[in-house]
Amino acid sequence: MVKQLKKIAFKAQAAGLAAALALCGLGFSSSAEAGETLDAIKARGVIKIGVGGNSPGFSAPDSAGRWQGFFIDIGRALAVTVFNDPEKAEFVNSSPQQRLPALQSGEFDILLSGVTQTITRATKLGFHFGPVVFYDGQGLLVPKKLGITKGSELDGATVCVQTGTTGELNIADFFRQHKISFKPVVIEESNEFLKAFASGRCDVLTQDSSDLAIRRTLLPNAADYVLLPERISKEPLAPAIRYGDDRWLEIVNWTVYALIEAEELGITQATIDSFLGSDNPSIRRFLGVDPSLAEATGLDAKFAYNIIKALGNYGEVFERSVGKASKLGFERGYNQPWTQGGLLYSPPFR
């Protein structure tokens, strides 16, 4: 452990030195900044992306075997940034228990699988996180026949909770806070988790609310279950990558920001070409009409244009995968631009 912490500290110092050099105008060229992850991606010709394989709306193969969903589109946006080709993304199914060890071991280059950003995962386990792509919270799913309307009424309930998630600790905190008791039913395998609830082994199913919304659609009589209104935790879901490749991290960051910035600017997949003649300097920089950003960053001048042209902006990705018109029917809530009362915010493309 001491050795690992020293290694992390050394990398942090190295990153700080690189940043200082850049500030002094002595930054490395873009090729020298590339670390082993980005080098491997370019040599391989495809980005390997860890996802959960049974999350319709977020990441799941369709009837033709093609991956679809919110996280899938963000993965394809990354492939556009690196290769200008959304098909240069290979999706790797990974369970909640195996996803972080698999990322650490190099099984894939990035994890887009509903991972909550936490300080422990960042400072102890050694992962960087990109921008939050989905603001979620842990919820409570119960059968309607119990007549429960809020979590504080669950004294003595049995609760199915999945191992390898932050949910185990959150649910214990929730019952302790309300001074009521519960009996945990801890289950590892995702399919068994839902079966246990459907068969009555537990009164409550707890997981991120987005995950519960998906699981409810898989129950035989979905209308017989209700998602209680409380959110008992903050679950900011963000892309995770390994420490050690600053260039790769920045590509992840600015790919997500491009999706967010396009929505804030009102640029959609259908209208983007009409913005190419805009006199707005921010739009001209963003779309690469003004090449100054490419000269400064080493990225393709049109990487943001290419992303939006291929996939649409953040709002379009959200709505077609998990939004009100989708099977999951999520409201935008916090997941809308700050200019509309949400938490999505992109730093300037300057």
In a domain, 317, yes or no: no
Single pTM value for the model: 0.80
pLDDT at residue 34, rounded to an integer: 56
Evaluate whether residue 215 is within a structural domain. Answer: yes
Q: Are 342 and 315 in contact (CB under 8 A)?
A: no
Q: Which residues are CB-contacts of 186 (< 8 A; sequence separation ≥ 6)?
A: 161, 162, 163, 168
Helix axes 246-265, 303-311, angle to 10 degrees: 60
End-to-end CA separation in angstroms for the chain = 40
Q: Is residue 220 part of a domain?
A: yes
As a whole number of angstroms, the distance between CA 311 and CA 73 comes to 7
The pLDDT tens digits of the residues spanning 130-163 come to 999 999 999 999 999 999 999 999 999 999 998 8
Which DSSP symbol is given to 146? G
Q: List the domain range (segments joined by +) for residue 167.
A: 140-234
**Would residue 155 count as lying in a domain?**
yes
Give the chain's residues under pLDDT 50. 1-33
Domain count, the chain: 1
Q: Indicate whether 328 belongs to any domain.
A: no
- Give domain status of residue 326, yes or no: no
- Quote the CA–CA distance of 336 and 333 in Å, as a whole number: 6
Q: Report if residue 209 sits inside a domain.
A: yes
CATH code where residue 201 lies: 3.40.190.10
User: Within a 13 Å sphere around the CA of 104, how many CA atoms are in the beta-carbon half?
Assistant: 11
Query: Would you say residue 203 lies in a domain?
Result: yes
pLDDT, position 128: 95
Q: What is the pLDDT of residues 235-287, one digit of tens each?
A: 999 999 999 899 999 999 999 999 999 999 999 999 999 999 999 999 999 99
Q: What is the pLDDT of residue 24?
A: 33
pLDDT of 6 reads 42
On whether the CB atoms of residues 111 and 103 are closer than 8 A, the answer is: yes
